[in-house]
Amino acid sequence: MVLSLPQATSPLAGVVKVPGDKSLAHRAALFAALAEGESEVANYPDSGVTRAMRGALDSLGVPSSLEGGVLRIKGNGMRPFPNSGATAYCGNSATTIRLLAGAVVATRSTAVLDGSEGLRKRPMDRIVEPLRQMGANIRCKGGCAPLHISPAPLEGIGYDLPVASAQVLSCLQIAALGAEGESRFVVNAPVRDHTTRMLRAMGAQVADAGREVFVEGLEKPLAPLHGTLPGDISSAAFLFAAAAIVPGSRVTVEGVGVNPTRTGVLDVLSRMGAKVTLANEREEMGESVADITLAAAQLRAVEISGDLVVRSIDEFPAIAAVAAFAEGRTEVHEAKELRYKETDRIAAIVAQLRALGAEVEEFDDGFAVQGGTLKGGTARANGDHRLAMSMALCGLRAPVSVEGAEILNESFPGFVPTLGSLET
């Protein structure tokens, strides 16, 4: 599929909603499978990455239904998964395989966790090593999938994560639910705390003391989930980026999750000059939610590093697109983790912006974009859903075609019609 968005001839305006948060959706499905009783979760997104988790759970013997955006799962508790020895295919979803590994270990199940060719290249040793320290019987080749897991008793451990990763921390937190005693995990930078919030809401003993997280082995079953998922800020980021790129635009996205560990993109866009406001702030399923409005203004280049990188790690493709239309040179540093996403996002962002005529520079730990130099052309999605959408956004200001754009269905199937509804 080749995607070419029409160049904007007038400001974007309107009020829209986005599908439920994918990070929360992964956790909601998995934790519901580990709970006792039936869970019911509304605004559940139906996309490639969320189907990966549901499909893997189905393979292990815990099916779910999704009708009208409502997910229903009858939990299996912390017992071994019913389909012992099954292979659970995780598609291209690193979140699925890493979180599911923690659950398979915690429930003393037998399973093989595998995925796409791309997923087989993602580093898994960062979860395998600490899981083995807890006592897990887990095998892999070259630190990558497939993961072969057999039952083994677990003991609580103290572990310092070498890389600040929410996926790794969540995997270990889940495994710790099935361990004897207390586990203590230390991170060197802020990471998403969705797992802590949701497990705590389900009755688990999880304490978050800043850079330290403590998890007690479960003494009573997890309670089922009932609620509505907040809108996905990672999806909303592309709509905010579109509004920032097109002068005079004003776009509101209702019901978006504004967990402070995820709002880095809003801070970046604000620093670049866009006007960001929050209204109707409230709480859903333990998460902060708000209606967010972004009004376009003169864009200026910024430097991004440190904690702000961690808080906006998934939104850099969108940020790079905005940077292409900002005044000056935007630089990103301390973002080497981008090299281990669906693709090497540092190299991919640089290559595709360069294909569109932009002046860009690649660093080992980031990249730089000289604003005002993008001319247009043909970009390639490279099998990365976020790259597909970000390059397509450049078409709002220049003639751009994106090859392989069907991959955007992995995360935001409604991207094109939702963006189209904002045209005035």
Name the residues annotated as catalytic. Answer: 314
Cα(355)–Cα(361) distance, integer angstroms: 13
Count CB neighbours of 68 within 10 A: 6
Give the separation between CA 179 and CA 183, rounded to whole angstroms: 8
Q: Which residues share a beta bridge with 362?
A: 367
C-alpha–C-alpha distance, residues 374 and 313, integer Å: 23
Give the position of tokens 């912006």.
353
Task: Say which amino acid occupies 400.
Answer: V
Residue 158 corresponds to which amino acid?
G
Instruction: Work out the number of other CB atoms within 10 angstroms of the CB of residue 29.
Output: 27
The alpha carbon of residue 412 and the mean position of all alpha carbons in its chain are separated, in whole angstroms, by 12
Amino acid identity, residue 187? V
Closest Cα partner for 247 from 88, 412, 396, 86? 396
- Which helix (H) or strand (E) segment holds residue 350: the answer is helix 345-355
User: According to the 3-state scheme, what is the secondary structure of 244-292?
Assistant: HHCCCCEEEEEEEECCCCCCHHHHHHHHCCCEEEEEEEEEECCEEEEEE
Angle at 271 between CA 268 and CA 275, to 5 degrees: 95
